[in-house]
Amino acid sequence: MIRLHHVPLGRSFRVLWLMEELGLDFEVSYYSIRDGSMRTEAFRALSPAGRVPALEYGDEVLFESGAILQWLCEQHPEPRLQPGPGAADRARYLEFIGYSETMGCLVENLNLNRVFLRDPAEASPTVIKLLTARLRAALAAMEARWDREYCLASGFSAADIMFSYGFELARYYVRFDEFPRLQAYWDRLKERPGYQRAKARDGEQDLYDRDFYPLEEVSA
């Protein structure tokens, strides 16, 4: 039995997408970050921080999306979505796994300031502008050096799932027409059948109440 504990559009989408790419048979249990369902003792027994993803895989229970992706790729080495130790692309693979969370931390803090504060007046305009600038810079750095089809020269891998998931959320704060190479890369990924199957199972997100949060509306 494989069961993914999932919030639509949450980091658990990475695991959902990978399992579709691997062709696994799995169930999905859905949660919302707004209704307290992840603060129960039962859920915290699966994920101590009360966050998704949590994955039940036979007798194993795992949390943290990056760890789950690497573990699943070890359990299912075909179709070779993770270069092993000593492989030519191993260093780049590990870099992208880490860089994905660099972007993730910036987006998470933007979410806290722009989406989840009960009183929007408590948000810091200075912090919002700094975080947005850093997110844009993180994407611009990749845009400037992007000269490949996928993260790795060897082809599509779990690194692409980790990295491009950040685009799903970053697009609420930065416009991707600034990054045409990354946009073309993302468009190519979204054509994958595995991605499309994952999006079909993702569920209705309740994180954002609009399509874009302009920096221009943040007070000085």
The dotted CATH code for 90-193 is 1.20.1050.10
Q: pLDDT tens for residues 169-178?
A: 999 999 999 9
Q: pLDDT tens for residues 17-49?
A: 999 999 999 999 999 999 999 999 999 999 999
H helices of the chain, where?
Answer: 12-22, 41-44, 65-75, 90-111, 125-145, 158-170, 180-190, 193-202
CA distance 111 to 209: 12
Read off the pTM: 0.96
Q: pLDDT tens for residues 105-119?
A: 999 999 999 999 888
Domain ranges within the chain, ordered by starting residue: 90-193
CA distance 170 to 140: 12
Mean pLDDT, range 180-186, rounded to an integer:
98
Q: pLDDT tens for residues 42-56?
A: 999 999 999 999 999
